Amino acid sequence: MTLPKTKPVKSSARALRQNVAILGGGIAAMTTANALAGRNYKVSLVFSGAQLGGNARAFPELFGHIGNDLKQSKEQILSTITNLEMQINNQRSIELFPESTAASVKGEAGNFKVMVSSQGKTFRLSAGAVVLAAGTNGIGAQNKTGLTLGKNLIAFSSLLSMIREGKTPKKTAFLLDGAAEQDCATSAAVFSCALLLAQQPKTSSTVFCKNARVAAFGMENLYRRARNAGVEVVKYDSLTLQRETAAGIAVITRDTIADKELCDEFETVVYADRSADSPRIPSITGLKTAPDGSLQYDNVWLLPAQTNRAGIFTAGASRGITELREVLNDGLAVAGQVHDFLRQGQLVASKDAANVDAEKCALCLTCLRICPVSAISIDTKNKAATVSPYECQKCGACAAECPALAITLPGFSDEQIQKKVGDKPKTIVFACENSAIPAMQGAGKLPASVAVITVPCAGKVDPRAVLQALHKGANKVMVLGCHPESCRYLSGGSRASKRMERLRETLDKAGFNKERVVFGGLAALETGRFLEYVSSNQTMAGQVFSPHPGAAS
Amino acid sequence: MIVAERKPVEEIKALIAGHGTVCVLGCGTCVTVCLAGGEREVAVLAGALRCGNNGHFSENTIERQCDAEFFENVKDQIDASDAVLSMACGVGVQMAARLFPNKPVYPALNTKFMGVSDKAGEWSENCLACGDCKLGIFGGVCPVTRCSKSLANGPCGGSTKGRCEVNPEKLECGWQLIYDRLKSLNKLDTLAEIAPPRDWSKTHAGGPRKLSREDVAGL
Ligand code: SF4
Ligand code: SF4
Ligand code: SF4
Ligand code: SF4
């Protein structure tokens, strides 16, 4: 085997700049800025509006649940914004960049370069950490009714401007939960708006929803006030819209419990689900978002506010925190996590990060695309993938996936694993050190026929290692890792489970008992489950297997 | 790049049945990049076939199976085997067959198309090698390949909401893409011109194509 060639690490530590760029100017961004300034960090707030306050300042009438009536709620939200703004203005360490957008975030953890364009000029902000807090596109930004917007089907924001201009529609329907069940903040906004309409003479409004959510403080009160003012609430199981009838749009709902179909016509219909996409997210290589559009990949290890990329965090609605009081508290949580990152002062290059043999690399980009923390980039000079020793978490997923076998994780090379596998007819358990190994601690002495091999992550387990073990006579090979949703390395558990499934199918079709290869998910505390997995093997009737000579190349 | 996928293992088993030692031969170029036939896939396929007692297997991967010179290093290994199971695209399999006239050479992959990789583990067909590229007038979107019917003058009647009627779930309408792209380039007027019928003799319809560069050819 050729020895892996690593680029020599020039300096072994990278200093973390002690400042933060917050992209966004809404309440989440403001509270985060104040909390960070409180911890003595220099903060740059980059936001698109002329003023701070974001959507809350633009639509202060939509917070009906925080006061006793709409007027009071509106005053309260505006004064909240004013207070936050005053605090910001009193902090000399916070610099404001209004009417500015961040086009991209480049660079690396602790030393990011944010490209900002502001009123025709572009400039570069350097920051140790970045907080993405530009919120979402808001309510109804993505019309998912299947009908195109027109005279009768209008956007939520258009309805608000109509109300402001005094052109209140007479009969309005709000459609909630069309694409997914909505959160309290969206319900609050919709009920506030419906109430606003109902308070006008000769107007009526109906809210169609799958569930009325009253869980947030003040929501029940708002709901009651809306109902008292005449807002109709229709709960539905399925809903269809019929385009343009004489009186507007017909909304047909079906209530499966009552087994009833209802049809009513509305002058105006408003699609009111919150769109999860964030406006103006700068381009950031390797940022992995959740399927629902949240900028935070769905995994417990990132909580509260980290994205999959070290040093990049997200606050407020862009990770699903939308209810006002939660948003107000979010700043502290985000600032705490940013502080935990920056106070390290420096990142130390790890000596045993994954490394790429540039000569073997076929530049397929698989490793780049699958690295959970996006630690891999292309070294254009060497024409090969290269791993950042500062960012690499040593999970080994890249090494187990590289089609050209160009990547090695020190300590877990083919040879090292082979040596541990040995050549006795055993049960080989590849055990993830974040779940299976701790789960094993309480398990007492394992039968001598079980050999446990520690791996940093189930995603490190190479199908070749599994085949090797079977070939050397293992009765059974188990890959035990984190439950996919709580994997220490975000996607290692699910990757391992899918990879092993593919291998099982291949083995099955090749005429081998696939039950001799098993993937199991477990949590660090699940000693019982660990024992179940391991002992299930004792009763396994293994297929007689005769290794062939001439196997290795 | 050329995109391929592994054949069903049953089919591979049937192909190699009865041969004593089979050399599983990978290719280090396109099929490595599309995760179908590189060193790792060679090891996994050979390993699985061994586990299922399907014979004896030796392994190797060369830089490119579409060039004869790269086979030099594996000549002995192939000579010592009863058959070659090539994990290259169809081109590589044929080169192996040409170079080893007395050895059965079998394909382990189905060669699918020329395409792009959309993201990790996903690929799409983009070019049919028609021999007369017209991307310049179609805004950089190929109507031959990305329109299911290879229409040259606008969409069929089945284009709905940007999806192709042939398989709306999976396929975007190529013509919608052409339209959107030309629109954003402010060049929709190019579509007003009728594209003349394609000269299909430049495609495979004119027989297997050959290419020579006189300036390079020869000694
Ligand atoms: S996965 Fe392997 S071949 Fe592909 S880019 Fe990374 S190192 Fe190179
Ligand atoms: S070992 Fe894990 S964290 Fe490190 S580069 Fe590879 S995939 Fe990324
Ligand atoms: S026009 Fe022809 S050569 Fe050009 S992309 Fe399409 S099929 Fe390929
Ligand atoms: S729907 Fe579009 S892509 Fe499909 S066949 Fe018709 S024009 Fe071509």
Range with the poorest average pLDDT among A226-235, A314-323, A541-550, B60-69: A541-550
CB A95 within 8 A of CB A125: no
The owner of tokens 């708006």 is A193
Give the 3-state secondary structure of A187-210. Answer: HHHHHHHHHHHHCCCCCEEEEEEC
Q: What percent of chain A has pLDDT over 90?
A: 70
Shortest-distance atom of ligand 2 to CA A395: 2
Ligand nearest the Cα of residue B138 is 3
| Nearest CA-CA distance, residue A167 and chain B, Å | 33
| Nearest CA-CA distance, residue A465 and chain B, Å | 9
Tens digit of each residue's pLDDT (9 = 90 or more) over A326-378: 999 999 999 999 999 999 999 999 999 999 999 999 999 999 999 999 999 99
A365 contacts chain B (CB < 8 A)? yes
Tens digit of each residue's pLDDT (9 = 90 or more) over A51-68: 999 999 999 999 999 999
For ligand 3, residues with CB inside 6 Å are B 127-130, 133-135, 142, 144-145
* B10/A509 Cβ within 8 A: yes
Q: A interface mutation test: which of B50, B61, B77, B122 has the most A CBs within 10 A? A: B50
What does the pLDDT average to over A438-452? Answer: 92
Tens digit of each residue's pLDDT (9 = 90 or more) over A195-221: 999 998 899 999 999 887 777 789 999
Other Cβ atoms within 10 Å of A365 Cβ, number: 16
Tens digit of each residue's pLDDT (9 = 90 or more) over A84-101: 999 999 999 999 999 999
Range with the poorest average pLDDT among A332-341, A492-501, A536-545, B71-80: A536-545
Ligand nearest the Cα of residue A389 is 2
Q: Which of A470, A456, A446 is nearest to A518 (CA)?
A: A470
CB A172 within 8 A of CB A207: no
CB A491 within 8 A of CB A457: no
Tokens of A526: 């699940």
Q: Which residues contact A26 (CB under 8 A, 6 or more apart)?
A: A47, A52, A53, A54, A55, A56, A133, A134, A135, A316, A317
Mean pLDDT estimate for chain A: 90
Chain A residue nearest residue B31, CA to CA:
A403
* B80 neighbourhood in chain A, CB within 8 Å: none
Q: B interface mutation test: which of A467, A490, A495 has the most B CBs within 10 A? A: A467
CB pairs under 8 A between A and B: 105
* A510 neighbourhood in chain B, CB within 8 Å: 9, 13, 48-49, 51-52, 54
The pLDDT of residue A9 is 46
Query: CA A18, A21, A22: angle at the middle one, nearest 5?
Result: 135
Position A439 pLDDT exceeds 90 = yes
Instruction: Identify the band that residue A543 occupies on the pLDDT scale cut at 50, 70 and 90.
Output: very low
The owner of tokens 């062939």 is A548
**ipTM exceeding 0.90?**
yes
* A509 neighbourhood in chain B, CB within 8 Å: 8-10, 13
What does the pLDDT average to over B75-85? Answer: 97
CB A98 within 8 A of CB A221: no
Note every long-range contact of B216-219, with CB atoms under 8 Å and residues 24 or more positions apart, other chains counting.
none
**Ligand 2 lined by A409 (C-beta under 6 Å):** yes
**Ligand 4 lined by B163 (C-beta under 6 Å):** no
For ligand 1, residues with CB inside 6 Å are A 356, 361-367, 385, 402, 404, 406-407
Tens digit of each residue's pLDDT (9 = 90 or more) over A148-199: 888 889 989 899 999 889 888 999 999 998 888 888 889 999 999 999 999 9
The pLDDT of residue A11 is 61
Tens digit of each residue's pLDDT (9 = 90 or more) over B91-103: 999 999 999 999 9
Q: Which of A376, A510, A278 is nearest to B22 (CA)?
A: A510
Helices A463-471 and A414-421 pack at an angle, to 10 degrees, of 40
Chain A residue nearest residue B34, CA to CA:
A364
Q: Ligand 1 pocket test: pick from A5, A366, A374, A378 the residue with the most ligand atoms within 8 Å of its Cβ.
A: A366
* A549 neighbourhood in chain B, CB within 8 Å: 56
Binding-site residues on chain B for chain A (CB distance < 8 A): 8-10, 13, 21, 28-29, 32-35, 38-41, 43-45, 47-60, 117, 119-120
* A550 neighbourhood in chain B, CB within 8 Å: 21, 56-58
d(CA A492, CA A300): 14
Partner-chain residue, chosen from A362, A464, A470, that has the shortest CB–CB distance to B43: A464
Cis peptide bond prior to A304, omega within 30° of 0? yes
d(CA B89, CA B111): 5
Ligand 3 centroid to B141 CA: how many Å?
9
Position A281 pLDDT exceeds 60 = yes
Structural domains in chain B, CATH included, are 2-112 (3.40.50.2300), 128-206 (no CATH)
* A370 neighbourhood in chain B, CB within 8 Å: 120
The pLDDT of residue A327 is 95
d(CA A338, CA A334): 6
Note every long-range contact of A138-141, with CB atoms under 8 Å and residues 24 or more positions apart, other chains counting.
A138/A55, A138/A274, A138/A275, A139/A186, A139/A189, A139/A190, A139/A272, A139/A273, A139/A274, A139/A275, A140/A270, A140/A271, A140/A272, A140/A273, A140/A274, A140/A275, A141/A274, A141/A275, A141/A277
The pLDDT of residue A538 is 42
In this structure, what is the dihedral angle of CA atoms A393, A395, A396, A397, given to the nearest 10 degrees? Answer: -110
Partner-chain residue, chosen from B43, B48, B119, that has the shortest CB–CB distance to A369: B119
Where helices occur in A116-216 by DSSP H, the ranges are: 156-164, 184-198
| Nearest CA-CA distance, residue A388 and chain B, Å | 20
Q: Ligand 3 pocket test: pick from B135, B137, B149, B181 the residue with the most ligand atoms within 8 Å of its Cβ.
A: B135
Chain A residue nearest residue B121, CA to CA:
A366
Instruction: Identify the band that residue B197 occupies on the pLDDT scale cut at 50, 70 and 90.
Output: confident
| Nearest CA-CA distance, residue A156 and chain B, Å | 23
Mean pLDDT estimate for chain B: 96
Position A2 pLDDT exceeds 90 = no
* B21 neighbourhood in chain A, CB within 8 Å: 550
Ligand 1 centroid to A5 CA: how many Å?
14
**Ligand 2 lined by A368 (C-beta under 6 Å):** no
The owner of tokens 């192996």 is B96
Partner-chain residue, chosen from A369, A403, A510, that has the shortest CB–CB distance to B49: A510
